Amino acid sequence: MAGIYADSPNDISSAVPNWPSTRALRAKEGGSEDPLQQLESGVNCPKADSLSAARQNTKSFQDFLAANWNLFALLTQFGGQGTVDFSFDVLKNWFATLRVEKEQFNLTLPSWITDDVYDQLKNAFLAGNNFVDGAAGFELPQDDELVKLRGGYLLHEWRSNLKDVSTAEGGVKYHAYSAHDHTITAFVRALGAKQEVIGDDIPNYTATVVNELWRKDGEYFVKFFYIDSYAYPARPITRPDDSDFCPLQQFLDISDKFSTKKDS
């Protein structure tokens, strides 16, 4: 499978050495009704956005932001954009940018972003990132509806694929989805395994969730793996963890609560 930029030359064989002659470019565009758009980062969901905003407006979370006032002050003074919003999104987006520069590309950060400032920003991000998408914290329990809205669509797709194969209704035996770290986070949280599998942080680049469907003695089972990044081997994350396999029906029963649809 090869990805091509929209403005790539039509004659790709002249631009890419050794391009296979049997491969031809075909346009693939998804309209507003394309279900796979739900796997994109930042897909609009007014209800989920409203629930997240309500959590962020609680006194406990606002006190948390206020405790990090110096970060907002620094960004206002040195960031080049003037006064910034007093919101978690500002901290999250700022940290996402700095993290790539510092941890991925080993670039030198501006002198006003000291190690202490960077560490404080990272800790603030880790403290709030899961909470704003429904995880328990800041004196609030997990918001099951928000978790469902963020991760339930992909979970429904996943469940439907498993059902189709197990009932011989679908001939496709391999499905692959390319999405974002936010999508993986939401999906694993909907499975009830985010904290245990990934921890407070977000998935690494190229992180992958793998699910195998097995049939043993006429019964179907699922087996889950998580790959932290391309540099790591797959590790089993099937629950209960005293077995490599979980009965398919048990998985469907447990995950039904967070699936956006009840039918396949």
Q: Is the same domain home to 160 and 241?
A: yes
Q: Does residue 15 fall inside a structural domain?
A: no
pLDDT band at 31 (very low <50, low <70, confident <90, very high): very low
Quick: pLDDT tens for 112-132.
999 999 999 999 999 999 999
Q: Is the same domain home to 172 and 207?
A: yes
From 40-44, 108-112, 247-251, the region with the lowest mean pLDDT: 40-44
Q: What is the per-residue pLDDT for 168?
A: 77
Which of residues 72, 101, 133 is at a domain's end?
133
Dig out the tokens for 60 from the structure.
């406990």
Q: What is the per-residue pLDDT for 45?
A: 87
- Per-residue pLDDT, averaged over 131-159, amounts to 94
Q: Does residue 237 fall inside a structural domain?
A: yes
Q: Does residue 12 fall inside a structural domain?
A: no
Into how many domains does the chain fold?
Answer: 2
Please choose, from the candidates 213, 244, 207, the residue with its C-alpha nearest in 3D space to the C-alpha of residue 226: 207
Q: Is the same domain home to 118 and 187?
A: no
> Which amino acid would we find at residue 246?
C
- Per-residue pLDDT, averaged over 166-193, amounts to 86
- Structural domain boundaries, residue 115: 46-133
Q: What is the per-residue pLDDT for 107?
A: 94
Q: What is the per-residue pLDDT for 140?
A: 98
Q: Is the same domain home to 190 and 253?
A: yes
Q: Does residue 174 fall inside a structural domain?
A: yes
At CB < 8 A and 24+ separation, what contacts does 120-124 make? 120/68, 120/70, 120/71, 121/71, 121/91, 121/94, 121/95, 122/95, 124/64, 124/68, 124/71, 124/91, 124/95
Q: Is the same domain home to 103 and 199?
A: no
